[in-house]
């Protein structure tokens, strides 16, 4: 046992591990949990006594009953790739990590009703492979976290992507969850014997309770049904650039107008600043930047010129029949042309032409540039077409000594990547966008962090912005600057009306422990009702009362 635990707590943990191993195979109980689950991109450290990989509901029930008996906290993960927000680490110390990645069955797939029912460990890549193998033409709700990240963990954090089912929790149709007392929750329609309808109707009957299981700690979700989007006859990506940073607010409003005038035809759209594009295009220029400083404005200008990077780049996807996509392109051209320097549409046909040209063009005619262009275009088309890729992961390695190399299954946490996501919601209005950008630039500059800004349309009204604070985790000074920078972004942003849609484990207590908030007090009351011993993921988006730990119940 870990030397930091006092002896009676340690005894309870030893007894609990022993009891757990009476039902769960010892090779799935890990005492090197600190190494396996405790390494975090944000630099957070939690004491994790041990971890259990459960393979079915009975094993989960057993872990919970042992946890209740010994008053020990348990923290559930699906695949534990909550990178930038805590990775697989619990919010509080001394939790047993309950890893559900081996519960990875696709339980049901309905081609006619366009839905899939999955266990926690099912990954984006696995669903994609399933579709390919069975010839099903649906889009996987992909994210930048790549093929090995779960669908469920992401959805329970209310994560998003840029396919038309942008908001992943919005695509949830139903779920089942084991409550801390061992009861199994499903919506009222299921209890009425109408399971099939339940799996395909989001709201159930009566108060909507499924929502209680997202960004919370009220249950262990063991399966969920997700609405899928059928692959339309035609998908086209589009990419555009803005010459002047001054036009970004106007471009944001143009995207809002496009979403409103082409409802259901466009997916989520991204606007990315030059720092963000640079990090995805070229290595960090460490030779030209002194330690403890960030890229200067002059160097940034040079690098942008060198790599042909504009002040802002936008991408998006169009979905529909060929005629609909053609008409939508016309509308996009009409609305973006006054602002965009370049506007290009990419589909499978243009991409194969580009590939063909780059294959036959001789070296002296800049073959390399054409090949690069075709690779970039492929990435954009894959992302909007719901093809899981690792295309976004190299970003995490920008400031690290270890470099991203293709063809390996990446774990950015154990590769020393330092990453904290600041992901605030921003109203889609010109002036708000400008205010937001100058605020992020100012705070990042203060801490010598590059401001890598993306704005994604999560609705017609709001952007969610993601700012990855990148650093080398081995560099203590950079880690401290990144953590302080996040904290100032959080607090200053709040004053200006910007606040994250999702929190990291380090910030939860500071936000939820608020005696003046009726909402957080209600959350606490619900928690007390469903989990009086506070054994399930204590502190996760919920005030955490102190409970005597490690005292066995009689
Ligand atoms: C380069 C990069 C790009 C990224 N791009 C995106 C993006 O486009 N969109 C996005 O949303 N995120 C993105 N992320 C952030 C993050 O990596 C993903 O959200 C990822 O899907 C979360 O990890 P996971 O799926 O393994 O979930 P987990 O880590 O397994 O789960 C997340 C949390 O949910 C809770 N939880 C998980 N499973 C259960 C369960 N069964 N029952 C109860 N509670 C549970 C736990 O508290 C857990 O900590 C990105 C990260 C990186 C590094």
Per-residue model confidence (pLDDT) at position 443: 98
Distance 55 CA to ligand 1 centre (A): 20
Other Cβ atoms less than 10 A from the Cβ of 375: the count is 13
Distance 378 CA to ligand 1 centre (A): 25
Tell me phi and psi for residue 2, to 5 degrees. Answer: -70, 135
Ligand 1 atom with the smallest distance to the CA of 79 is 26
Kind and range of the H or E run holding 197: helix 195-198
Minimum CA distance residue for ligand 1 atom 10? 159
Dist. CA 142–CA 155, nearest whole Å: 11
Among 39, 95, 156, 464, the mutation site with the greatest number of ligand 1 atoms within 8 A of its Cβ is 156
Per-residue model confidence (pLDDT) at position 473: 95
User: Three-state SS across 286-303?
Assistant: HHHCCCCCCCCHHHHHHH
Minimum CA distance residue for ligand 1 atom 34? 153
Dist. CA 208–CA 219, nearest whole Å: 15
Per-residue model confidence (pLDDT) at position 2: 47
Dist. CA 74–CA 202, nearest whole Å: 28
Say which residue the tokens 């708000």 belong to: 432
Residues of the chain with pLDDT under 70: 1-6, 365, 407-408, 548, 551-554
Dist. CA 295–CA 302, nearest whole Å: 11
Dist. CA 396–CA 384, nearest whole Å: 21
CB 195 within 8 A of CB 174: no
Residue 157 bridge partners (DSSP): none
* Domains identified in the chain and CATH numbers: 1-100+507-554 (3.30.43.10), 106-230 (3.30.465.10), 234-346+390-500 (3.40.462.10)
CB 392 within 8 A of CB 401: no
DSSP secondary structure code for residue 218 in this structure? S
Per-residue model confidence (pLDDT) at position 551: 64
Please indicate, yes or no, whether the overall pTM of this predicted structure exceeds 0.85: yes
Distance 86 CA to ligand 1 centre (A): 9
Per-residue model confidence (pLDDT) at position 78: 98
Minimum CA distance residue for ligand 1 atom 52? 145
Ligand 1 atom with the smallest distance to the CA of 83 is 17
HSE of 171, CA atoms in CB hemisphere, 13 A = 26
Find the residues whose C-beta lies inside 6 A of ligand 1.
76-84, 100, 120, 143-145, 149-150, 152-154, 156-157, 159-161, 220-221, 392-393, 395-396, 412, 419, 537, 540
Structure tokens given for 171? 């695509």
φ/ψ region of 204 (left if φ > 0, alpha if ψ in -120 to 50, else beta) reads left
Per-residue model confidence (pLDDT) at position 3: 47
CB 119 within 8 A of CB 105: yes
Measured CA distances, 483 to 42, 80, 474, 489, 501 (Å)? 8, 21, 14, 10, 18
DSSP secondary structure code for residue 185 in this structure? E
Other Cβ atoms less than 10 A from the Cβ of 552: the count is 13
């Amino acid at each position: 046992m870990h030397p930091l635990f006092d002896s009676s707590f340690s005894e309870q943990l030893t007894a609990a591990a022993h009891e757990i191993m009476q039902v769960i195979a010892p090779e799935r109980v890990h005492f090197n949990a600190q190494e396996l689950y405790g390494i975090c991109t944000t630099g957070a450290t939690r004491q994790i006594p041990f971890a259990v990989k459960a393979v079915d509901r009975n094993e989960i029930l057993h872990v919970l009953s042992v946890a209740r008996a010994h008053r020990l906290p348990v923290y559930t993960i699906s695949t534990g790739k909550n990178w930038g927000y805590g990775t697989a680490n619990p919010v509080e110390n001394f939790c047993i990590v309950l890893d559900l990645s081996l519960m990875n069955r696709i339980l049901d797939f309905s081609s006619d009703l366009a839905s899939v029912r999955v266990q926690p460990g099912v990954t984006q890549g696995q669903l994609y492979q399933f579709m390919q193998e069975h010839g099903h033409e649906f889009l996987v709700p992909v994210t930048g976290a790549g093929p090995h990240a779960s669908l469920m963990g992401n959805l329970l954090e209310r994560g998003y992507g840029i396919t038309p089912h942008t908001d992943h929790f919005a695509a949830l149709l139903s779920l089942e969850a084991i409550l801390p007392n061992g009861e199994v929750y499903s919506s009222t329609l299921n209890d009425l014997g109408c399971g099939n309808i339940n799996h395909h109707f989001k709201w159930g009957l009566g108060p909507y309770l499924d929502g209680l299981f997202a960004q919370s700690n009220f249950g262990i979700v063991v399966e969920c049904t997700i609405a899928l989007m059928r692959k339309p006859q035609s998908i086209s990506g589009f990419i555009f650039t803005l010459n002047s940073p001054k036009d970004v607010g106007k471009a944001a409003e143009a995207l809002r107008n496009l979403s409103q005038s082409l409802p259901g035809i466009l997916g989520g759209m991204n606007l990315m600043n030059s720092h963000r594009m640079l990090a995805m295009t070229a290595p960090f220029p460490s030779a030209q930047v002194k330690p403890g400083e960030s890229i200067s404005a002059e160097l940034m200008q040079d690098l942008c010129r060198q790599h042909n990077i504009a002040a802002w780049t936008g991408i998006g996807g169009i979905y529909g029949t060929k005629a609909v996509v053609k008409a939508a392109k016309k509308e996009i051209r009409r609305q973006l042309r006054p602002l965009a320097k370049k506007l290009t549409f990419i589909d499978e046909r243009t991409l194969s032409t580009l590939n063909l040209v780059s294959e036959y063009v001789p070296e002296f005619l800049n073959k390399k540039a054409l090949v690069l262009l075709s690779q970039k275009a492929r990435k954009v088309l894959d992302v909007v077409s719901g093809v899981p890729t690792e295309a976004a992961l190299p970003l995490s390695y920008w400031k690290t000594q270890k470099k991203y190399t293709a063809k390996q299954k990446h774990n950015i946490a154990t590769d020393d990547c330092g990453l904290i996501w600041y992901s605030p919601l921003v109203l889609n209005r010109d002036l708000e966008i400008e205010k937001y950008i100058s605020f992020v630039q100012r705070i990042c500059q203060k801490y010598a962090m590059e401001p890598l800004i993306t704005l994604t349309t999560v609705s017609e009204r709001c952007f969610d912005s993601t700012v990855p604070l990148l650093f080398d985790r081995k560099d203590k000074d950079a880690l401290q600057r990144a953590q302080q920078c996040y904290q100032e972004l959080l607090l200053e942003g709040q004053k200006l009306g910007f606040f994250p849609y999702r929190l990291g484990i380090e910030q939860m207590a500071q936000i939820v422990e608020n005696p003046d908030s009726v909402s957080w007090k209600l959350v606490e009351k619900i928690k007390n009702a469903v989990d009086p011993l506070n054994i399930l993921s204590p502190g996760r988006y919920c005030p955490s009362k102190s409970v005597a730990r490690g005292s066995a119940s009689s």
